[in-house]
Amino acid sequence: MIVVLRPGLKQDEIQKVVQRIEGFGLRAHISEGKERTIIGAIGDERLLADQSLESFPGVEKVLPILKPYKLVSREFQKANTIINVNGQKIGGKKIHVMAGPCSVESREQVLESAIPVKEAGATFLRGGAFKPRTSPYSFQGLGEEGLGHLARAREITGLPIITEVLDPRDLEVVCEYSDILQVGARNMQNFKLLTEVGKLDKPVMLKRGMSATIQEFLLSAEYIATEGNRKIILCERGIRTYEVETRNTLDLSAVPVLKQLTHLPVFVDPSHGTGRWDLVAPMALAGIAAGADGLLIEVHSHPELALSDGPQSLKPEKFAAMMQELKRVAEAVGREL
């Protein structure tokens, strides 16, 4: 439920309401808006029994949250969440593009992508050091060595890093190097991992599972939020259907639906969403037109030699051309790139 407080309450008065909520065995999550402070009372509401919070000093009204996900819902927070990462504000008017190779293969290979994507207007560098692969015989990533290559590229380009974490045991080392943690599609319902990243003060990009409904997607985000971390970015990356012409079916309708249901930023990954480099630009343009706050794009200087996902990677010159098209679409929908 949502507990709406009266305007002008002091911090000690707010804390008394929090203590009251927690006294019933519920968890209290405070959200301070421009006009109102609200508290999300999360847990089994049957614990309230016949008790009423509306009569408690400082409480204006109590409203139910009808969605099964609470903290990430628009019911809990009307205003869009803005996540500040090294001065880059995600979720506002500016559209962010996170670009780079699927896998970190070498120091030189990362820089061959990082420098041109920076010059083309990308605001974040993506790259995988720990790779979840369908086959155990496929390239699994360079691990901490790969993280070091990303960090070096950040020093040279100034681009903050987003990289995937697969295992709670790797969180400490990945957090040491990365600016944003990525939880991939295969781990969307790895609830232990979600719980652990929820305990961190570090932005998290959560990618939609390959067969996940939107409700399941948002409930996974709720796992992170209930642990205290609200710096969550959602990413639509395609779902598995009967279609075989593309790697996945990119569900662009999920973008406006998510924007209605949640206050969290929403990104689109047209690289994994299609699996084809020639479809990346059209779907990127469509994603921005649909209302996405950003894009995740795979770029490789020599995709024919890439150790993973070469067929869906753009060459730097193709990426630069796409960025020019994106600027025009962004302006047309009242955003900026």
Chain segment 288-327, per-residue pLDDT in tens? 999 999 999 999 999 999 998 899 999 999 999 999 999 9
Tell me the pLDDT tens digit for each residue of 218-257: 999 999 999 999 999 999 999 999 999 999 999 999 999 9
Beta carbons within 8 Å of 254's beta carbon, 6+ residues apart? 208, 214, 236
Average pLDDT over the chain, rounded to whole? Answer: 93
Give the model's confidence band at 52: pLDDT under 50 very low, under 70 low, under 90 confident, else very high: confident
Beta strands per DSSP E along 139-208: 161-164, 180-183, 204-207
pLDDT band at 41 (very low <50, low <70, confident <90, very high): confident
Supply the pLDDT for residue 49.
60
Confidence at residue 66, expressed as pLDDT on a 0 to 100 scale: 84
Strands 27-32, 37-42: pairing kind: antiparallel
| pLDDT for position 157 | 97
Is the pLDDT reported for residue 137 higher than 80?
no
Q: If pLDDT is split at 50, 70 and 90, which confidence band does 138 have? A: confident
Span 123-145, mean pLDDT?
A: 85
Range of lowest pLDDT (56-60, 78-82, 110-114, 218-222): 56-60
* Strand (E) or helix (H) holding 97: strand 96-100
**pLDDT category, 50, cuts 50, 70, 90?**
low
Q: Is 142 exposed, middle or buried (0-12, 13-18, 19+ CB in 10 A)?
A: buried
* Cα–Cα distance for residue pair 100/92, rounded to 1 Å: 23
| Nearest residue to 138 (alpha-carbon basis) of 335, 330, 307, 302 | 307
CA distances from 336 to 33, 255, 269, 286 (A): 25, 18, 19, 15
If you average pLDDT over residues 109-128, what whole number do you get?
A: 97
Distance of alpha carbon 233 from alpha carbon 202, whole angstroms = 11
- Closest by CA position to 104, among listed 64, 166, 151: 151
pLDDT > 90? residue 54: no
Mean pLDDT for 71-92 is 95
pLDDT tens digits, residue range 202-211?
999 999 999 9
Please, which pLDDT band fits residue 53 given cuts at 50, 70 and 90?
Answer: confident
Calpha distance 29→281 (Å, rounded): 40
pLDDT tens track for 150-186: 999 999 999 999 999 999 999 999 999 999 999 999 9
Judge whether residue 264 has pLDDT over 80: yes
Contact partners, residue 191, CB within 8 Å, separation at least 6: 220, 223
Smallest CA-to-CA distance from 234 within 257, 191, 204 is with 204
Q: What are the structural domains, with CATH classification, of the chain?
A: 2-63 (3.30.70.1140), 83-332 (3.20.20.70)
Rounded to two decimals, the pTM is 0.92
